Chain A
């Protein structure tokens, strides 16, 4: 009896842990596969997705597949540019929505959620129609992708910065003005440092959204090929193992950013 009870308690104590671990495994198996496959030597194989031999060659020659590195560079360029513009515009919009009372503010607050809520295929095709109607037909490419990415990143930036901004005590700015800081100084000494974490989070989110986007991009890209489009294209013939190298590198970069952010926050919390 006691043995059974003990066993029951053991299960009770460990079941949650086990379930949690299983969920983590479920989430991380795809990433582990990507990492593993980046070391796969499949040159002799017909089945490109089977792991045959360990090799460093994919890492040594990441740009071997035709057009892949160009696509990666293009995606990064578009991502950075779209992030910069969306973060700037979106932050300004967030300030306007939080700080200024104007006619149509509540409508604007609702409408900014629409791009997040609408299906990408709808937005992508309507953008395409818009571009063609606007005379971009035949000239789709870098610029149209960039415009599309800024559009769908904006909502996320506005929502993220707004959340941070509405949590900011406006008394702090008044206190700064009371202590001889002009509007400009108040913004850079008090408002911006306090809002910055929100802006940074918005920028990171924008970049990953842009880098990752396939549907809207594919519809508006013309002959231009971004990294997700490249992967989609080659997937029909079999994905070259170097794609896994890029995947692993991107994963490591995001991991690095997340860990750094955590350490900085922890340091800040420890200091407070």
Chain B
């Protein structure tokens, strides 16, 4: 079955702002979500992502700014007059109605014909046909999640909003639901806007991710773009992990920016250098850092540093994670795949580290080096 709306319209937020009595949740947000994409709003709790979602759903009235669906403005439209449906964080299934009636709720309100048939098809899509007569509290978390999805999807909304829909599920179930959600989105071709604080979840499912922090969007792009070329320290730290090493720009010519990093000259491609003068943070992802016992050749031209000592080794099966103390007193993370090419290095081993210049990025020194670092890490 195809639910795809032929007249797919993009969702556009313009200068959207929401102020509460004591703080500003969303600050002049501009955002365009193309029709038919899986879009993720990613950020830590309190970053304004859920408020943004609720404004799109009509459950929160913006302080200023506009929301458009195609050419229609829906900023102040009542929630029940918008072609938008929501999968709530706690599912919000109606406890007094059975699964069939929960899913049928939206269709019945719009006096659609042939409700029973559509509900059956929708329950088949989420593989719950046999549970139609049950009440929500009788079902497991994963099943309730699928009912909530079915209840929203059956209305063929132009935009489906998902508010941390997998937050209440355990890890294993979450993984399989991620794949499931992505499959359903591809199948029905609707626009999904997904709010989450789980970067892995966002990267697994979304075509485009907008990383939000403090009510504004820090950076927007495909998961690979955000990961490989973060524009702020927040994105670099929140999306995966990063080594951020202080340095200062010595020259910026053509498409290469050269940086002096504690006496080592490193070069960074201009399109990955987000400052071209003064001090900055040289960023490199831990899995891009190659290490080898001191003096042994490393397969990586340029950006070669010596004098490191391994201070910590964690073996995590597929990879080994090293902490390397560099001569300038900073510990760098280096993740190495356990290909079996070489034995795991011991703590205390003297090592050289290196990375290919095209993997490094440069961020302005004015940004907080610890922004977006997860507390438990």
Enumerate chain A interface residues (CB-CB to B < 8 A). Answer: 169, 171-172, 174-182, 185, 189-190, 193-194, 271-272
Contacts and interface: CB of A to CB of B under 8 A. Distances in A.
A177 B79 CA distance: 6
Contacts of A179: 80, 85, 105-106, 109, 151-152, 155
A178 B90 contact: no
Nearest to A190: B94
B45 interface: no
Given A169-B90, A271-B135, A272-B138, A180 B106 contact: yes
A178 B135 contact: no
B88 A180 contact: no
B81 to A, nearest CB: 8
Nearest to B83: A180
Interface of B: 57-59, 78-80, 84-86, 88, 90, 92-96, 105-106, 109-110, 135, 137-138, 151-152, 155
A129 B241 CA distance: 77
A169 B92 contact: yes
A178 B85 contact: yes
A178 B137 contact: no
Contacts of B94: 172, 175-176, 190
B135 A272 contact: yes
A171 B80 contact: no
A181 B88 contact: no
Given A169-B92, A172-B92, A175-B86, A180 B138 contact: no
A35 to B, nearest CB: 38
A181 B110 CA distance: 8
A189 B108 CA distance: 11
Given A177-B79, A178-B79, A180-B80, A272 B105 contact: no
Contacts of B78: 177, 182
Contact of A176 (B57, B84, B105, B110): B105
Given A179-B109, A193-B96, A174 B59 contact: yes
Nearest to B59: A174
B217 to A, nearest CB: 24
19 contacts: A172-B95, A174-B88, A175-B88, A175-B92, A175-B93, A176-B94, A177-B79, A177-B80, A178-B58, A178-B85, A178-B86, A178-B152, A179-B85, A180-B110, A181-B80, A181-B105, A181-B109, A271-B138, A272-B135
A171 B79 contact: no
Nearest to A186: B80
Contacts of B138: 271-272
B160 to A, nearest CB: 11
Given A176-B105, A180-B80, A185-B109, 18 more contacts: A169-B90, A169-B92, A172-B95, A174-B92, A175-B86, A175-B94, A176-B94, A177-B78, A178-B59, A178-B86, A180-B109, A182-B78, A189-B105, A193-B96, A194-B96, A271-B135, A271-B138, A272-B138
A190 B95 CA distance: 9
In this complex, which of B59, B80, B95, B155 has the most chain A Cβ atoms within 10 angstroms of its Cβ?
B80
A169 B155 CA distance: 23
A164 B155 CA distance: 31
B59 A182 contact: no
Contacts of B58: 177-178
B96 A178 contact: no
A224 B109 CA distance: 52
Contacts of B155: 179-180
Contacts of A178: 57-59, 79-80, 84-86, 152
